[in-house]
Amino acid sequence: MVATLMEAMLFKEKSRGKVWLIHFLVRCFAVAATILLLTDGSHAHADGVEMLGNDVDAPPPVQRTDVNSSEAILRDDQWRMVKTRGSQFVIGDRPFYVNGFNAYWLMILAADPSTRGRVTEVFQQAAAVGLTVCRTWGFNDGGWRALQKSPAVYDEDVFKALDFVVSEARKYRMRLILSLINNWDGYGGKAQYVKWARDAGLNLTSDDDFFSDQTVKGYFKNHVKNMLTRVNTYTNVTYKDDPTIFAWELMNEQRCTSDPTGNKLQAWIQEMAFHVKSIDPDHLLEVGAEGFYGPSSPARLQANPNTYAGQVGTDFIRNHRVLGVDFASVHIYPDTWMSGASVEAQLKFAQSWMQAHIADAEGALGMPVVFTEFGVSTKARSAFNATSRDQFIQAVYGLLLDSTRRGGAGAGALLWQVFPEGTEYMDDGYGVVLPKAKATAGIMSAHSKRLVVFNSRCAWSCRWGCRKEEEQSETRRMLMT
């Protein structure tokens, strides 16, 4: 009976040349079904990790994509630069919500042929649970296996290793956030730049001179230029033209404790953001901040994990109002910032920390916010074990989904950190080896699947869907044949 009625309707609409009405009604039913699905699942994250269990199926394996030519990358309509529209990321007309991870070590392992395969493995395993963004170091200054051996002097083999990382990420549809320098001494950092200047005869007294000395700033600007204008030896695509790169990060966890007012660091962010954008106006840029509130927002200081956090020279709202900064970055480490507190207290802090930054990203900044590092250690004497860590991960994902459902600024999070098998010797207590951590992998996969629903929808401003006219034309053709 239903089939007879539908045939009659289609015949009638064909004769009138109004098949588009049928398409319109079908899309209305599809939108209604999607809303019901999302509403029905709106509390899926609230009942604990056991709801997901260990039997959550991962998405099908990601097919590697041929990227041997620059034309293949630049002509790929599905592999475009990520942009921002208000407080959302978009690719074309579709929203892009992030579920990702950190793997700072990729370039170093890629530089050694005996460990290069680990890079492929981690991308393969991450893609299998639906992760789409990886944050990694685009620096190694001085020391062992250095990328930059001295100012503007590079080890070409190590640079080729980074080329490999970018190329391999593209094959698994993984986008990269490349950080340009470290605040800390690991992999050189600002201390190495100051040391280079001292070795050149400058009388510098503090590592914080990195932010103000003209010579040192010149060293860093040269590195930025050399990185952004690098031509990938695997793909022949210049980094600044490659959509595989999601964003540039000015510095990992910058602090300037010698100037609690934040003026010195603010001036540096302004200068370097302008420098990056003058070379590469197309890619997104983020600061790399931990998210501590500073003097410009005294009412928010109580949101910090402790008093000291408001005195390290950073200022979340002020730093992210800089021209050229496209989205906000925040870290979440309750176990480090609140050492000795109970799991319940740390989870409560993480919730309030995220809510404050999502609200400020929406209200004060008008930009997306990504929690570019979040994690807790499961080492001995930590408040967390594998089970409670999963509860923490689930809580972070749940808060982000709450924001996503209402079109808020919570744009994603990157777990610190993911390792492939055989690299556990590098684990700092925060590492997750996905093939061994089945419950964690299930949680991450389930969150990825939920985001796919949102990422497949049109941007909120696109009323009836992306490519409406093309779809109507295709439907007319199918129904009339």
pLDDT > 80? residue 40: no
Q: Is 253 noted as a catalytic residue in this protein?
A: yes
Cβ atoms of 383 and 377 closer than 8 Å: no
The pLDDT value given to residue 73? 60
pLDDT > 90? residue 42: no
User: pLDDT tens digits for 350-396?
Assistant: 999 999 999 999 999 999 999 999 999 999 788 999 999 999 999 99
The answer to whether residue 321 sits within a structural domain is yes
What integer is the mean pLDDT of 142-158? 97
* Nearest alpha carbon to residue 392 among 428, 341, 436: 341
User: pLDDT tens digits for 452-472?
Assistant: 999 987 544 443 334 444 444
> Predicted confidence band at 74 (pLDDT cuts at 50, 70, 90)?
low
| Element at 330 (helix H, strand E) | strand 328-332
* Nearest alpha carbon to residue 313 among 269, 363, 362: 269
> Predicted confidence band at 69 (pLDDT cuts at 50, 70, 90)?
low
What integer is the mean pLDDT of 10-37? 40
Q: Of 168, 253, 290, 362, which residue is the catalytic one?
A: 253
pLDDT > 70? residue 38: no
Domain of 194, in residue numbers: 85-456
Burial of 336 (0-12, 13-18, 19+ CB in 10 A): middle
The answer to whether residue 51 sits within a structural domain is no
What integer is the mean pLDDT of 40-53? 32
The pLDDT value given to residue 381? 81
Q: Look up residue 105 and give its two tokens.
A: 């070590």
Q: Which residue has the higher pLDDT, 9 or 414?
A: 414
Task: State the total domains in the chain.
Answer: 1
The answer to whether residue 236 sits within a structural domain is yes
pLDDT > 70? residue 39: no
pLDDT > 70? residue 82: yes
* Cα dist from 242 to 73, 95, 96, 116, 167, whole Å: 8, 20, 17, 22, 10
What residues pair up with 100 in beta bridges, in sequence order?
Answer: 133, 414
Cβ atoms of 328 and 365 closer than 8 Å: yes
The pLDDT value given to residue 372? 98
CATH number of 375's domain: 3.20.20.80
The DSSP-derived string for 82-142 is PEEETTEEEETTEE--EEEEE-TTHHHHHTSTTTTHHHHHHHHHHHHTT--EEEEES--BS
User: pLDDT tens digits for 392-412?
Assistant: 999 999 999 999 999 999 999
Helices (H), 181-333: 189-199, 214-228, 263-279, 316-320
Q: Of 13, 249, 286, 373, which residue is the catalytic one?
A: 373
pLDDT > 80? residue 64: no
* Cα dist from 456 to 23, 51, 451, 460, whole Å: 18, 24, 8, 12
Q: How far, in Å, CA of 220 to CA of 233, rounded?
A: 23
The answer to whether residue 73 sits within a structural domain is no
> Predicted confidence band at 41 (pLDDT cuts at 50, 70, 90)?
very low
Q: How far, in Å, CA of 282 to CA of 31, rounded?
A: 33
| CA pseudo-torsion sign 445, 423, 169, 152 | positive
The pLDDT value given to residue 97? 98
The gap from C-alpha 105 to its chain's centroid, in whole angstroms, comes to: 16
pLDDT > 50? residue 159: yes
Q: Which residue has the higher pLDDT, 477 or 89?
A: 89
Ranking 43-47, 288-292, 443-447 by mean pLDDT, the lowest is 43-47
The answer to whether residue 103 sits within a structural domain is yes
The answer to whether residue 3 sits within a structural domain is no
What integer is the mean pLDDT of 429-438? 97
pLDDT > 70? residue 324: yes
What integer is the mean pLDDT of 10-31? 40
pTM for the predicted model, two decimal places: 0.83
pLDDT > 80? residue 57: no
User: Residue 408 carries which side chain, given as an amino acid letter?
Assistant: G
What integer is the mean pLDDT of 115-144? 98
3-state helix, strand, coil in the chain (%, to 5): 45, 15, 40
The answer to whether residue 404 sits within a structural domain is yes
* Nearest alpha carbon to residue 166 among 235, 229, 225: 235
As a whole-number percent, the residues of the chain with pLDDT over 70 amount to 79
The gap from C-alpha 73 to its chain's centroid, in whole angstroms, comes to: 21
> Predicted confidence band at 257 (pLDDT cuts at 50, 70, 90)?
very high
Q: Is 286 noted as a catalytic residue in this protein?
A: no
Task: Give Cβ neighbours of residue 417 (< 8 Å, ≥ 6 apart).
Answer: 101, 102, 103, 104, 375, 428, 430, 431, 432
pLDDT > 60? residue 474: no
The answer to whether residue 258 sits within a structural domain is yes
What integer is the mean pLDDT of 41-55? 32
pLDDT > 70? residue 292: yes
